[in-house]
Amino acid sequence: MNTLEFTVLVGLGSLGAGFLGSLTGLGGGVVLVPLLALAFGVDIRYAIGASLISVIATSSGAAAAYVKEGYSNIRIGMFLEMATAFGALVGASVATRVSTAAIAVIFGVVLLYSAYLSNRSPRERQSDDQPDPLATLLKMDASYPTPDGPRPYHVHAVPAGFSLMFVAGALSGLLGIGSGAVKVLAMDQAMHIPFKVSTTTSNFMIGVTAAASAGVYLSRGYIDPGLAMPVMLGVLVGALLGARILIRTQTRLLRVIFGLIIAALAIEMIYNGLTGRL
């Protein structure tokens, strides 16, 4: 296989990953690393570097649209970003010191958990809502658009959310993914932020989190231009296509299918990691 053929195939694979990632809301990063490592035989370190780049591209691309709709909360995002950015620096620094087999196994476990999380339906919360003093002090309470006009919400459990965000950042830095599932878990479940606000704020944060580890990877030589080029462009085009089609599709079934793909990749990653093939 020459470079041209390799580039075209990686580009098409990335396009598919970006497409499914945006249709299901899981992001392309979770399938990219296993795809590159397992199907293309790319060393997991190059795969992580390329995936991280694509995560920034899709997050910024989607955030541009979300931000304008007024769902995402920039104060919550920026405050929690202190934890994710620090976590991402720690994660990326750890990644340059541990074996690729260990990374593969951790990746597999995180994939399995993401597949599980993403296939639970968000439950509606009753507004038990007493303002939380810390959230009030940090001016996090806001409102979001609904068909019946803006609906106000209160934010809770800021310290718990902050700690979970550190974990999300560390996983993002270690594995080159966006960790959207963990971010949404922290905001939706722990901090009781409405689901739409959680998902769009998570998207807002993903690009910043990924940028916080990109510098570490770049300076360690993990980001290869020849590989990152088709991955970034493919994922970006795929994500844009997915966003266009999103309105017309039944996402429930897609999420189940995508969840199964992720679970299969996860098991393969764990197996290959344990047998020392990655």
Cα separation, 73 vs 143, in Å, equals: 9
Residue 64 in the binding site for other proteins (CB under 8 A): yes
Report yes or no: 95 and 174 within 8 Å, Cβ to Cβ. Answer: yes
Report the residue from 14, 24, 51, 72 that binds other proteins according to the rule CB under 8 A.
Answer: 72
Shorter beta-carbon distance to other proteins: residue 146 or 251: 146
Shorter beta-carbon distance to other proteins: residue 57 or 115: 57
Residue 68 in the binding site for other proteins (CB under 8 A): yes
- Which residues in 167-180 are b (16+ Cβ under 10 Å) and which e? bbbbbbbbbbbbbb
Cα separation, 130 vs 94, in Å, equals: 40
Report the residue from 101, 117, 134, 211 that binds other proteins according to the rule CB under 8 A.
Answer: 211
* Count of alpha carbons within 13 angstroms of residue 191, beta-carbon side: 33
Cα separation, 266 vs 261, in Å, equals: 9
Residue 19 in the binding site for other proteins (CB under 8 A): no
Residue 177 in the binding site for other proteins (CB under 8 A): no
Report the residue from 31, 33, 38, 89 that binds other proteins according to the rule CB under 8 A.
Answer: 89
Q: Burial-class residue 124 by CB neighbours within 10 Å (0-12, 13-18, 19+).
A: exposed
Report the residue from 122, 131, 152, 221 that binds other proteins according to the rule CB under 8 A.
Answer: 221
Angle in degrees, CA 216, 222, 223, rounded to 5: 95
- Stretch 139-168 residues interacting with other proteins (CB under 8 A): 139, 142
Report the residue from 39, 98, 109, 218 that binds other proteins according to the rule CB under 8 A.
Answer: 218
Shorter beta-carbon distance to other proteins: residue 43 or 129: 43
Nearest approach, Cβ of 246 to other proteins (angstroms)? 18
* DSSP-based three-state secondary structure for 178: coil
First CA to last CA distance, the chain: 21
Q: Which chain residues interact with other proteins by CB under 8 A? A: 1-4, 6-7, 40-43, 45-46, 53, 56-57, 59-61, 63-65, 67-68, 70, 72, 74-75, 78-79, 81-82, 85-86, 88-90, 92-93, 96, 100, 138-139, 142, 207-208, 210-216, 218-230, 232-233, 236
